[in-house]
Structure 1
């Protein structure tokens, strides 16, 4: 896989520039520095990244980041401020003093700063966001950080399923502590569990019955017996910024025959995809194999059925390269991916099961360590 230096060279640039906070995956990956305010990073060929930070952040940045750290004052901010008051033009002149262009910029680079840089040298936009590609192959440290987040996901999943399993049943509805057991209540308890692992999660899905036919419906209201309940959680480790991802579909009591058929098909499709995945296979091959498998069983996939990709990479973003879709490219050793086949039909419901694992030459090494039983 091409390095960042290769990317800079092939684009005709002399430096790659970022301007973002650590919420930006590329910035976090390159700097390993956590900041809520945007900073500038300049990566020149055959040199370590150079990061410009406020004076108050300099000591912490030098301790936490492998990048070379300089302050805005060292980059010439005060001198430039004597003749230029526009903050974007000041930033552009600091960059120009530290590196001549052409400058290669990511597609989400601030427009105002890109235009200010153009007054100094040519600007090239990395329109295909090729910088994300090097992040797709994870180091052993990154795999350990993702695994840690996955253990938080599993603990949260156990919290949710335990609540469902031990709930009281009243007229087909689930009750906990003499109150209806709702999607919001389950999410709340899952969040408490994840906080104990120093992880947080947004938009956790706890959907039930007809809601499950909509893959990303987060769910609302009382959970019911004999209905599919889809639980999808993707926590982020607060220390490292790395995500995990897992989904289970459960039912308190036997659901309808059609839901059970969906479940068995999805589970078998997941195991099929796990057997297929290895370095050298393409995401498109794996996706198509699952699509074909569902078709052989009579599960159509147009506006209903298998209506999303088979999976995706996971790292500093919950959805990143590689893709396991109809256009998915070659998988490489060190990719961390999810496999999450699903089937969704209005009037029946939906089923999704998702495991996380590492792509290796020998196959798929599952990180997820949790039961796939449906009936609880």
Structure 2
């Protein structure tokens, strides 16, 4: 969390940290400043001091209103002089950074994230600063969430669940037509219809649907990254995997929820897949807590449960082609995939981690079954953030 930034800097032996960009393209900028804007800004932090945002006056006015940053550095005069000389400020980072470090920096080593623009990195080197690339510093900081971040993710989860309920009702209300096709208002119900309804439902709740959201019908769900062809028709008796990870338009945080829906009869093979996935999810929920080892405790709780149900996993059997052939989950926050990553075999969960847990089973002749919920890790266990939606959706 942001409160850990000084400790993270100290661990990496850097005296200052600098970043540059805008919040829409670089989530770290939003995390560091709370400033939601397409305007590029410079963030500077001296160890054991508050972060400073450097920008022109018109941008600083908005920062004062929209950001939690209190310390600012006005570059208006510098920009004005540069433009009088026929220079574009964006093309002259050496002059800008030179002024910032001359006024604000007291130390030896400057840390830079790996997304710092290359011309900015060159400029810092030309100034003569001792530069140290710290690619994981901000990622590690974002791996644990404070109360405000958890509140935002919970809010994203509420929007996601509400939108999910709308499409569940649409599928439930559909009639079963010729060749088991689901029909809505006299027309086949398609992936396009579901994604469009999700998009509208989320916009009503000030959230946006990701372009790579998944609606995978029947056997096509065997490929767990298959997004769904817009013209694919939903059918009765087939699993429909819907995996959505919307972003709040203002708060910028995401949720990640997956359900596998079946309209009509569920055959024995499909029921066995559901039973295994639900049991695996519960096993993980019972194990997930601060101090639990990511792989030895939590991953294994899932994979060994699936094994008891007769399903393989690529973790226990690297040659497995069916069963659970992807990882158990990932951290979420300002991005849908961030630290902690659950393929880590050496680390333990920390209090404040927020993770999406998504056990699944995939059989080529059937398709797939996947259920995904979001949790905040605490010392006492795991608290589910995406509530109010049944894990089993047989309609």
- Sort the TM-score into its range (normalised by shorter chain): over 0.9
Deviations 1:32-75 (A, max 9, x none): 0011122110011111111112322111101222221223225x
Local SS of the residue matching 1:206: strand
Which of the residues 305, 309, 319 maps onto 1:297? 309
Instruction: Tell me if structure 2 keeps the 8 A contact 1:80–1:93.
Output: no
What 5-or-longer segments of structure 2 have no aligned partner? 314-319
Local SS of the residue matching 2:8: helix
CA distance in 2 between partners of 1:174 and 1:53 (Å): 55
Instruction: Tell me if structure 1 keeps the 8 A contact 2:207–2:246.
Output: yes
Q: CA deviation at 1:94?
A: 3.4
Indicate the residue corresponding to 1:49 in structure 2. 51
Instruction: Tell me if structure 2 keeps the 8 A contact 1:80–1:90.
Output: no
Normalised TM-score (structure 1): 0.93
Indicate the residue corresponding to 2:350 in structure 1. 332
Question: How do 1:214-363 residues align onto structure 2 when only pairs under 5 Å count?
Answer: 214-220=223-229, 221-284=232-295, 285-301=297-313, 302-327=320-345, 329-363=347-381
Indicate the residue corresponding to 1:21 in structure 2. 22
Local SS of the residue matching 2:241: strand
Indicate the residue corresponding to 2:317 in structure 1. none
Local SS of the residue matching 2:355: strand
Which of the residues 159, 170, 181 maps onto 2:177? 170
Which of the residues 56, 73, 87 maps onto 2:92? 87
Which of the residues 95, 105, 123 maps onto 1:99? 105
Question: How do 1:71-82 residues align onto structure 2 when only pairs under 5 Å count?
Answer: 71-73=74-76, 76-79=78-81, 82=85
What 5-or-longer segments of structure 1 have no aligned partner? none
Instruction: Tell me if structure 2 keeps the 8 A contact 1:50–1:70.
Output: yes
CA distance in 2 between partners of 1:333 and 1:254 (Å): 42
Local SS of the residue matching 2:193: helix
Normalised TM-score (structure 2): 0.89
Mean alpha-carbon deviation: is it higher for 304-313 or for 271-280? 304-313
CA distance in 2 between partners of 1:63 and 1:37 (Å): 15
CA distance in 2 between partners of 1:300 and 1:307 (Å): 8
Instruction: Tell me if structure 1 keeps the 8 A contact 2:279–2:305.
Output: no
Q: CA deviation at 1:226?
A: 0.6
Indicate the residue corresponding to 2:155 in structure 1. 148
Q: CA deviation at 1:238?
A: 1.0
Root-mean-square deviation (CA), in Å?
2.0
Q: Which runs of 4+ in 1 moved over 6 A?
A: none
